[in-house]
Amino acid sequence: MGYQNISFPEKTKFLVTGSAGFIGSNLVEAIINLGYQVRGLDNLSTGKKENVDLFLHHPNYEFVEGDIRDLDTCMKACDGIDFVLHQAAWGSVPRSIELPLLYEEINLKGTLNMLEAARQNGVKKFVYASSSSVYGDEPTLPKQEGREGKVLSPYALTKKSDEEYARLYTSLYDLDTYGLRYFNVFGKRQDPDGAYAAVIPKFIKQLLNDKQPVINGDGKQSRDFTYIENVIEANLKACKANSEAAGKVFNIAYGGREFLIDIYYHLTQALGKDIQPIFGPERRGDIKHSNADISKAKELLGYDPEWSFEKGIEAAIDWYKADLKALKVV
């Protein structure tokens, strides 16, 4: 269970792109704690400088401020690297509908630059973040790899295209690639601010500040909320996976299903708040229900997530409560 017992050769070096972001900074922390070297790459467009500063004192950490849209930057970042954990991207379905050209540049061209840089530098394995959004309008639950519908947003299209490019880099250039379709990841250091903030940290911050959160739609949409520790496990186990699993994509989730309105009232109870939500319009491009079949990741990656939603949300609430200054609780 978990990833604490995963081992690599002593001098192994990882590159984490998007290392100043939520998922990236947690990966950096986990790799450092395991005793390996890690280089972070981020242009700080959505990542936070404080997430970089957390590790700058550590002898096994090196940070490069740079943009994945620049191939030369990607080439330098991949120099001497064994494993790439590519997390750099712009998220948010609604924002991608507003800014499709920018999403194409960052999420698609940027990923292609990283694939090419990894290939030219002889990287052993290239593990990258995909998304459950690639399932689009396919209604069948649980979501299963190979059964996708029409994508509903530019964000989803960039992730679907990334998967195809990665598959080609495995079949044409022998670069072992592993796509991880994340399902609604949450946990410590996830940003609660901004118009496109993830729902769990946003709810927690607003409730702690005694404000009424807005739920888009009727609250009956469901998600396979996945705690960050499960995602770290998936990335590291993909680095240990057999090459026969390369070129494939994998659902990374816990395999559960939570309704948004239930989560909201769970949080109000946990935080001791009696605040009713405001129901707003549904968001364009959103998938109504999401639940993952994780059997493929279990079989081919040895993925065995130990953090249930209940265990994860308790840990997340504790972390946000301890970080009241960042939440600006008055």
Q: Please name the helix (run of DSSP H) or strand (run of DSSP E) that holds residue 301, with its range, or none.
A: helix 295-301
pLDDT of 214 > 60? The answer is: yes
Identify any residues that bridge with 130 across adjacent strands, giving them in sequence order: 181
Could you give the CA distance from residue 180 to residue 294 in angstroms, rounded to a whole number? 11
Q: 13-327 has which fold?
A: Rossmann fold (3.40.50)
- Percent of the chain at pLDDT > 70 equals 97
- Predicted pLDDT at 195: 66
- Predicted pLDDT at 161: 98
- Determine the residue type at 148: E
Contact criterion met (CB below 8 Å) for 296 and 250:
yes
Boundaries of every domain in the chain:
13-327
Average pLDDT along the chain: 93
Tell me the pLDDT tens digit for each residue of 134-162: 999 999 999 999 999 999 999 999 999 99
pLDDT band, very low/low/confident/very high, at 193 (cuts 50, 70, 90): confident
- Predicted pLDDT at 274: 94
pLDDT of 198 > 90? The answer is: no
What is the CA angle 17-193-221, rounded to 5?
90
pLDDT band, very low/low/confident/very high, at 330 (cuts 50, 70, 90): very low
- Predicted pLDDT at 329: 45
One-character DSSP codes across 211-270: --PEEESSS--EE--EEHHHHHHHHHHHHTS-GGGTTEEEEES-S--EEHHHHHHHHHHH
CA-closest candidate to residue 301, choices 249, 224, 255, 254: 249
* Eight-class DSSP state of 145: T
Contact criterion met (CB below 8 Å) for 49 and 89:
no
- Determine the residue type at 291: N
Which positions are catalytic? 155
Contact criterion met (CB below 8 Å) for 52 and 20:
yes
Q: Please name the helix (run of DSSP H) or strand (run of DSSP E) that holds residue 129, with its range, or none.
A: strand 125-131
Could you give the CA distance from residue 209 to residue 203 in angstroms, rounded to a whole number? 10
Contact criterion met (CB below 8 Å) for 39 and 16:
yes
Tell me the pLDDT tens digit for each residue of 11-22: 999 999 999 999
